[in-house]
Copies of this chain bind each other. A is one copy, B any other.
Amino acid sequence: MGRWEPGARERLREAALELFMERGFEQTMVVDIAQRAGVTARTFFRYFADKREVLFDGSADLAKQVKDVAETVPATASALDVVAAVLDAVAQLVGDDRDRARARQTVIAANTDLRERELIKQAALTAALTDALRQRGVGDIEAGLAAETGSAVFRVAFSQWVDATEHRDLRDVLRETLTRLRHLAAAG
């Protein structure tokens, strides 16, 4: 058997999400996920440490991406311009699969451990963005505020995107939400 099986990672992600939705996260075993994806449990463990990690695949890369984007924005950009560029990039990474995003949210919302893991992940991303802004010479407090604001915009926009009756581009919803925040702050 070859070390890598083409498409296995993606099939495992899909199979896991289906099973979590059908049976619940706790009731789903790694062997069930592997079977549904048409691979062995051994193959599963080549890609993921455990069933929980299937839901958080790619989140380790995300922090790096955030830093990379923050570095490429022109030096003249304001802190919130950097945040806007990062949100654009995140939208691209999340992609267009709203059904998948909705299923993932449903699974996470139903399990305390998963909710905690999701919050820790978000906090780590906010910290990565804060660091990236500091590297650009933004002061500590402004860096923290801008990063936290970006995180706030993401949470509000994401749940709006997932729940909306019409399908919209996540990037557009993020941009619109950031603009709303600006108005809110200016008007308040």
Asked if B185 and A149 sit within 8 Å, CB to CB, the answer is: yes
Q: How far is the CA of A152 from the CA of B160 in the complex (A)?
A: 19
> Inside 8 A of A146's CB, which chain B residues have their CB?
184, 188
In the complex, identify which listed stretch (A1-9, A42-50, A74-82) lies at the interface while the others stay far away: A74-82
**Contact among B119, B123, B148, B181 with A156 in the assembled complex (CB-CB below 8 Å):** B148
In A143-163, the 8 Å CB interface with B consists of 144-146, 148-149, 151-153, 155-156, 159-160
**Contact partner of A145 among B112, B116, B156, CB < 8 A?**
B156
A160 to B130, CA, bound (A): 14
Residue of B nearest to A142 (CB): B184
Give every chain B residue within 8 A of A180 (Cβ-Cβ).
Answer: 141-142, 145
A64: B residues at CB distance < 8 A: none
Contacts of A168 in B (CB 8 A): none
Q: Which residues of B contact A181 (CB under 8 A)?
A: 145, 149, 185
Residues of B within 8 A of A100 (CB): none
A residues with a Cβ closer than 8 A to B are 78-81, 83-84, 112, 115-117, 119-120, 123, 140-142, 144-146, 148-149, 151-153, 155-156, 159-160, 177, 180-182, 184-188
| Top 7 closest pairs, chain A to chain B, by CB | A80-B188, A148-B152, A185-B185, A116-B116, A119-B119, A144-B156, A78-B188
A-B contact pairs, 23 of them (CB 8 A): A78-B188, A79-B184, A80-B185, A80-B187, A80-B188, A81-B188, A83-B188, A116-B119, A119-B120, A119-B123, A141-B180, A144-B156, A145-B153, A145-B177, A145-B184, A146-B188, A148-B151, A148-B153, A148-B155, A149-B181, A181-B185, A185-B186, A186-B186
